[in-house]
Structure 1
Amino acid sequence: MSTHKTIIIGTGPAGLTAAIYLARANLNPLVIEGPEPGGQLTTTTEVENFPGFPDGIMGPELMANMRKQAERFGAEFRSGWVNKVDTSKRPFTLTVEGLGELTAETLIISTGASAKYLGITGEKENIGRGVSTCATCDGFFFRNKKIIVVGGGDSAMEEAHFLTRFASEVVLVNRRSELRASKIMQDRARNNPKISWNLNRTPLEVVSGPLGVTGLKVTNNETGLEETIATDGLFVAIGHTPNTRFLDGQLDTDETGYLLVKPGTTETNIPGIFACGDVQDHKYRQAISAAGTGCMAALDCERYLEEVAH
């Protein structure tokens, strides 16, 4: 079994950018793509804020282009699910479903974060048809429309506040009567005249027609009755889960599971292992910032390999 110079786990904008840079540096990276190649962008329809595309580009097309670019320079792609990584000895060993054991001198972790969904009827079927988990990605498409934001934490307040730039009205729905959000975020939302509140409501079903989402069916927890709140769009803002479980706690994370990197770098606590994209960024979560950290990870990785060689 030959040892790869570097293996990249994940194929969102971060992993693919890292692959482009490493392939151009003649390091022949092996990229392992999981069951959702392209990451969260493949669930987005049109991407209008990625520089260089004045007319916008479809999310899946942008990811396909990035992959082609990496392949053109010699990156190798294989499909599999990484079950385990052994970081205790070098080279690092990966146990990959469908591919067996692979070894690498360096690793780039770009496994992203998965948006949490409500798990209600009509939700998954309407992603891209009015249901979204990213206000900065999709808010623009809801100019002068009525939108619902579901959630009670800081991210829900932030998304609701941001969406008032576009929407005619934003309704905040939360299943409890009190919110988890910090007081400052709650106050900002309450002081925004475009935001109205529907608290103590449990979402039951996303209602849709031929053109997309038309409403959200909820249970009024005070009366026990079902109600339907009319809306043109539904933003689910109940958080993200970083995809780090397969690492089994071998790399340092924050309390919510995001990988920690040394400030200004993509270096984790284990030399030779780098992290980029949403798996280490819970703040910006944009395709362009993920791509930027992918570039950083590739350059950090290249430098590390040079230093080890000497």
Structure 2
Amino acid sequence: MTPRTSDFQLLDHCLTDAEFSELPGFYRNKVRDAYQLPDRRRLLISTDRQSAFDQVLAAVPHKGQVLTQTARYWFDQTEDVCPNHVISYPDPNIVMVKDLDMLPIEIVVRSYLTGSTNTSLWSMYDQGNRVLYGHEFPEGLKKNQQLVEAIVTPTTKPAQGGHDAPITESEILETQLVTPAQWYELVERSLALFARGQELAAKKGLILVDTKYEFGLDENGAIVVADEIHTPDSSRFWIAETYQEKFESGEEPYSLDKEFLRLWIVGQCDPYKDPIPQIPAETLIEFSNKYIALFERLTGLEFEKPDPLVSMRARIREALAKELPEYF
């Protein structure tokens, strides 16, 4: 679909800054601006900033709202599988959450041999590695090939500005990053969440290819899933009907996720060695439309775009003032 003039104008109205001096405990991640509140609550505001290869590269129209509302759908659909950190949603871009003691590993569940980052299965396999994250792989596999079963491939959680790194189950247990009981529960919870995700995605003609989970401990020491879940930033989604034909022809399956942007970047440069070029407006609009299409296909709801005549910062500030009047 050819972008309209109004689509390009949206690029000038993206939310790139959600810092409000009235609120305490501000800190900034690549995509979210957040606030540590003194009563074991945390405020997460999803901006339209877009990262890839551990860099913030651009702003994408509606990105923050899509992430928040997609995660909301999945938190609602999986709360019987694993408790989550959500308290409330004061605004389409905002979620109020429990302040957890975050665990120092990320759990990535994968069911296909794919990916373009240096921690992805395909990138490592293509370099000749056959033992990945402690799992042995046979010779002769092809990119995007389905694995025999879903596997857990954990990574370390980087410090601010750092990079995540592969780690194995034995290394986690040897270094006591988490207790054995916590580790085995994390694996069980992650595989159960992934199974639910694949089940619901399949009903909408989608393949949940892989995803990342982050977990923390609540005030009672219970494991709770946090951050986001099954969003196009943290997961790969393929259109199921395109998979087999594309796989057999050696092409990339049609996707509705962040991999679209990663593949564009890899086609322009080596993102780990070269400066990443400016992303064309047409590419950012197409990317935005993919995220919206995923939300609508998954939820069956029409995505409600915000009024472009209303300042997003002003709208969010008003929502914050209603939610936290003691600070405004």
More helix by share: 2
TM-score (norm 1): 0.29
Greater gyration radius:
1
More strand by share: 1
TM-score (norm 2): 0.28
